[in-house]
Every structure is written in C-alpha cells, then in structure tokens.
Chain A
Amino acid sequence: MGEKKKVVPFWGCMMPLKYPQMELAIRRTLPNIGIEIVDVDGFTCCPDPIYFKARDKMKWLTIAARNLAVAEEIGLDVITMCSGCISTLKEAQYLLDEDPKLKDEINKKLKKIDKEYKGTVSVKHAVVMIRDELGIDVVKKSLKKSLEGIKVGIHYGCHLLKPSQIMHVDDADYPNILEDLVMAIGATPVYQKESLLCCGKGCMDADIPLEMTEAIFVAIEESGADCMGLICPTCFSSFDLGQLMIARKKGKTFNIPVIYIFQLLGLAQGLTAEEVGLHKHRIKADKVLEKIV
C-alpha cells in the first residue's frame, strides 16, 4: 500500500473514557486500510448533543466551534468514530455556515483565546471517509480471516444518518453504508426491522428507553442474527449493559453480543478478540468467535 492518508481523530469522551475497547479497535484497524492516525492536543468534549445542549445551546455551539477552530489550525481532515461527536460537529458547522451573524457572535467569543472558526475544515465519520475517499475495496484487501456465515444484525441508531440535510451520509430511511461495510468485512448483514429505532438513551424517563431497547432486541432475535453490529457508543451502553438491565427488570434474556463495526473489522483482519477489546463487553461473543476461520 502506498502513502497513508493522514487524519486527525476526534475521540470525544465516550470512547476514550467509557469504552476504550472501541478506541483500541480503531487504532488497530485503520492503519491496515491506509489511514494514519495523527493525535493532536487541544480538543475538549464535542460537546454532548443531548444533555449539554439541553442546558445551553449557545454554549454548546461555542465549544463545538472552538473544537472546529482547533481542527482548522492543524490543516488535516478530521474523523470521528462516535455518532454523538459527528452530530455535534456537523450541526455546529451547518449552523455557523448558514447564519453569518451567528458565526460572528460565536467568533467574538473565540477571539478571547485567539481562535476563529473559518469554515474550512472537513469533518467526517470514519465509515464515510472509508467509503468515499479510500473506497470499500481497501477493506477487502486488508482481511486475513474469514467471517463467512456470521450473521450481523445491523443497528444504525440515529445520529450517523439524521438529519440527512446536515449529515450527508446516506438515505436516512433506506441506508446501505453499514451493510456494505459488513459485506466488505466478509460477514453477512441481516435486516432487523428496528435497525433505525433510537436506543432511547436521550429520553429522560425511567421506562421508555428500556422498552425501546427491548423492541430492538426482539427484532434482532427474529432476524436470526448471531450478533448485533453497531456504530454508536451511546447505543452500545444501551445495548450491552442494557440487556442485563432488561433481564433484571423485565426477566427477559436475549444474550446477543453487541459488536462495534470496527471490532468486527479487526477480527477479520486477524486480530484476536482481546486485541479488539471484546473481552471488556458484558455479553460475551464466544459463539461468534467460534465461527471465525
């Protein structure tokens, strides 16, 4: 493989501070498909598009604009691996670019620390960069093991796709991007009818989020999938730990392993379960691992 594409990762909080196994999978797999990760100083929380934004939208926008300004100074493309981070950064860019007055107002605040949001940086989710800039074939070329026959129930969640006028990723009702990636990895994507349903995490109610998660796992079970393949760390907390909570509160056991798409890629690239951090999950993936040859 020739020159690697240098990109700056925007890690956010969930991956490095709650689910470092996801960060591990990214660090292990991206170099194998021609991406060089260039860590930089200066980022903060994106900030979180649910609770912090509910508290104060203008502060939310100010912090996001600062992160974008930091990225612009570096001059490399930025990737995020978290659906929450990409949601915040893309929406902030959209709002600042659509409203010059708002941009001026925010830039006045950034001026206090000698920063400015100009609107020149490209921020993409890693899966989008792989599809659009490297081409899905780089994934196929990086494989060492066969995941043939492993059925992956795909879960999109919300923020990777919606709103499509901002995210520019795929058809928000009939997306393909994750199915295509899972096929390139060599596994079999299976349709589950709640693949676009929200995990419910943002809903400030004691019962509704659990009901949503339950509906999703009923669908995964019906689909006959061996595991769930997902893309969002917030979904992950609802689904991995969430299955234990459903078992405790509702007496229903699913026991379906929840695997981040890049962990799946790592397994196909010949990494062990530990090397992609699968041993840190509550629901163990042994049955999936047995099928890898």
Chain B
Amino acid sequence: MILDSKIPEGPLAEKWSKHKFNVKLVNPANKRKYDVIVVGTGLAGASAAASLAELGYNVKAFCFQDSPRRAHSIAAQGGINAAKNYQNDGDSVFRLFYDTIKGGDYRAREANVYRLAEVSVNIIDQCVAQGVPFAREYGGLLANRSFGGAQVSRTFYARGQTGQQLLLGAYSALSRQVANGKVKLYPRTEMMDVVIVDGKARGIVTRNLITGAIESHSAHAVLLCTGGYGNVFFLSTNAMGSNVTAAWRAHKKGALMANPCFTQIHPTCIPVSGDHQSKLTLMSESLRNDGRVWVPATAEMAEKLRKGQITANEIKEEDRDYFLERKYPSFGNLVPRDVASRNAKYVCDEGRGVNETGEAVFLDFRDAIIRDSEDVIRAKYGNLFDMYQQITGENPYKVPMKIYPAVHYTMGGLWVDYNLMTNVPGLYALGEANFSDHGANRLGASALMQGLADGYFVIPYTIGDYLAQTPYTKIPTDHPEFQKAEAEVKARIQKLLDIPGEKTVDYFHKKLGKIMWDYCGMARTEEGLKKAKAMIKELKAEFWRNVNVLGGNEELNHSLEKAHRVADFLELGELMVDDALNRNESCGGHFREEYQTPEGEALRDDENYAYVAAWQYVGEGQEEVLHKEPLLFENVKLTQRSYK
C-alpha cells in the first residue's frame, strides 16, 4: 500500500492557499444534496458540524453524552495557542510552526503543522465573534500567557476553563444550526461500526444508549471526531467515557492507525491516592508559569517529609532542588511536557518523592504569592486551586501542591492525509482522533487549536473536493452492507452478554491499564514491551472467557457500554506495544530506555525512524502490517532538541 499524504506542491507558506484554490468546489445549491455524518461533538466535531451545516450540507451529529456540550473538550483548562503576536514579543506563524515541529521531536508533517499555525489566528477571531469571554487586559484587549516549549506569550485563555468556553462557543454555533434544521442531533448514541460500500465510507451503525436500538445512518461522507484513547491506561486525565471504539472499528474496516504508541504523559496531575481511584485530575500546565517545581535535595530529607517529621515549608532554600530550573536554565519550569514528566520520574526514582507513595514532586507558589500577592494568583488560577483543595483537602495558597505525571493525550490516531481523509475514501478523522500535527509530543494549548482548526477551517474546504466528485445518489439503509454491519454489531452484543464469566468489566480495564502504565508508559524497554504483549494477549483471552456483562441490550446498560470499549482497548493496547517495540529510538513522549543521551534525554534515530508508522489490520489474531510514510523536512533542520 502506498500512503499518499497529498501534500500540495510549492513553498511551505503557500501550500494551503494554493490548495484551497485548486480543490474542487460544490456549488452552493448542490450542497443540500449531500449528507454528512459527524461522530463526536467536541471541539473538532462541533466546529465541523456547525461549519458544514452553515455551508448548506445536511449534517447528523452524534455523541454518547446526554448533550453535545459535555464532550471531553469541555475539561480543557489552560488555553489555546495562536500566532497573533499581540504581545509584540516576536511571535509569527513560522515561529509557532517551528515550536510545534520541534516540540513534537520532528515526527510530524511540516505542511500540516504550518497550516495549523497559519489558521490559528482565524480561530481566535471566530471565537471572539461568537462571544467567547477570553481573558482581557484593563485596556479591553485580549490577554496572553505562556505555555511549555515556547518563549513567547501566545496562549489565549479563559481563566482555567478555556476548553469549556471554546466548546460552548462551538456548541452555540451547532445549536443554531439545529434550530435552522441543518443539523440533526443524536445524543446518547454510540457509533458501533462504519459502513463501507464499494470501498467508500457511506454510513455508520449506532446503538441508542437508552433503548438499545441498533440503527443505520447513511451519508456521503463520515467524519470521526471521537477524541483520544488515553483511557487505555484506565487511569488518565480523560473523561470516564473517552474511548477508542469509533476509531478502532474504522481501523478494523481498513483505516490505518498511525503512531499509536505516541502518548503524552502530563507532568502536573494530582497524584494517585489509593486503589479506589477512578481518574486522575490535571492541574493545568499554565500553573508552571508561576509555580516552581522542586523536591528536597536529598533522599534522607524526602524520607523525613514522607514520615511527617518535617513539612515542606520548613525546608530551607538551600535544601530545595528546583531540578527543572537547574537543568534547563533557559526554559526552566516551562520545558515541554515529556521533559518535565521524565525528570519528575527521575527524582522520584532517586527516592526524593514527596508524598506517602513516593511518587510526587512539589509545585510551589510561595514565591509568586510573595511577588504578586495572593489575589493576583487567585484571579489567574482560582478555580484550579479550589479544585485541588477539594480533591486533596490541602490549601495550595499555604502549602505547595503535590503533583505527578499522568496519561493525558494521545498523539497517535487514525492516519489521515493533508485533507484529513483516512485511507478509506469518504472517511475523515479530525481532532485528537487523528495523528496529524503533534508528532511525538504535543505542546500545551495546541490540541484546542488543532481541533478547531480541523473543524472550522480545514474540513469545510477539503470535504468539498471529495463530495464534488461523489454522485448525489443516497444509499438506502436496507442495502446489504448496512444489513451486514447491523447483524455483526448485534452478534457482538449477544456474544458479550452470553459470556458466562465471573469478573467485572472494570477488573479487566484496571489490569490492562496497569500493564500499559508499567511497560508502555513513561519509560519503555524491549524486554518490558515483549512481556506486556504476552500479558495483554492472555488478558484478552481471559476477557472473552470470563467477563460478566450484566443486564440486557434493550435498556440503558453501562456494563455493556463499558464492555465494548474495554474489548477494543485490549486490542489497541497490543498494537501500541507493537508500535513501541518497532520504534527503536526515543522521541518525545516515546522513551525507550535503550536509546538515550548520556544526560538522559531522548535519542532520536532520524536515519531509520523519521517516518510515520501506519498499521493495517489484516484479520483476527494476525499481526498487523506496518506501512511507512517518510517524513521530509525541507524547512527545519533536524537537531537534538535542547531546552537548556
């Protein structure tokens, strides 16, 4: 299989403009003859559905929550990047492009990333026009803050609730189109399969989560905007329902999965407190603007701390090790996430962790409060501090926060070309569900940017090119391919319900999560990964033999919903391990212990691994086939990333 990325010819800065001019257009009067399915109503899905409906296409939008406004994007805290250069501090489209490519450790496509940086400025304009209340300065203009991996202030924010405000903006645009009759909403509906007719994506099969009804929906194109798969680790910062099911079903129908092992471990999350834990809570990266990360200088002192013999505030300045500031003086606490996470792990591995489990470091606001006052800090981060206090019972204005890395984001996802189309014609992937723009490590505040870029400003152009070449004819849902897909979905449900097992679905999910975290998490080795692969295979076999899925299909049934998702995670987990094993280098969030510099930084192998690893499903129980899309760098020089 040849992977054609369809990157337009010409100089980097002109590719997108030229492409927009060259793509085919659908005449305004003909747009209403096309139906488009959008699965997911997060930033990517809601912005795409609204924009396509505004253009005149008939849209059906699906989500599993009870309202589109509750998609996981709502939880994003810190902010969204855009190359506006409102601060006059030297930002530009090229600098945002460069920072993103470098931050991703040179494992993303130049052309895609450049386009992302280019349209970033339009996103802010669009959101403000919708009434999104971004933070402002006293003069009435927009405020910015800085995020990791950048030396300019280009992050727009709405207190610690940027995702909420952006999503509510997109949701309002979507709601307007629902009122106009151009979007039909399907909440509490889960996509169970993609339907492919004559090699093209022509619809989906869904399950109504309230009644259990299995239904078919036909369209001329299908957009998967279904988010990331961080929950394969069980514990992550993702919402409880986030899953890989939609993407995985597409994968099993022929869509390639790219770089599945590229996962982001976020450095600043509230540490695990016990076995009952159901999820991990992020403390936004924006906190690293003012918080200083440290641990005691010695393991002995850390031990005293853990035993409660001394408190953090009693530790003298000279006995504190601000390890990020020490090792990376020019970026300090604002190094990229992968670097910050790995260093937190190192100091904890040295026995300098600061909580009972030994897996936590301090994030301290003492100096910022002395410098700026408590009120200023409260105005910037009040809701995050409140959340921290509610969860831990400690007051971060008085004692330093304790944080530890946690799974947060998945850079990997469905392979897409420059038009955001997967290798299956008519099937697109947007937002976190695709693999496209973040390489091996995503910079903070770039996922919101990418989701909205894809939905507002890329897909409205690129989908026209495809639809213009697609006949208006609709395919009825009694077509044999729909019937077949429905029958398969029903059979799978029955199979799950019929297993005479004894263990709950969560039992398997937790076990899988532990395997993934231990062997395919922050640090990976060949030996560990091989072990993990065998363990996952065994766990998967046990699942299908011994899971107990309660209740029936014709009702609201969380046990059944979860069982579907965990079954898919088990398959994905194995592929992630294969991908991590294949990549004999370290890059960004993928850290293979065998490949590191003497200082413990990721050691890339550009000669052999400057490619996108795209995996093809070839059948139950068979090893997936690897396809390589070489990455060409014409505008940036590949160097060892340095944040010193």
Bind each other:
no
Interface residues of A, Cβ cutoff 8 Å to B: none
Interface residues of B, Cβ cutoff 8 Å to A: none
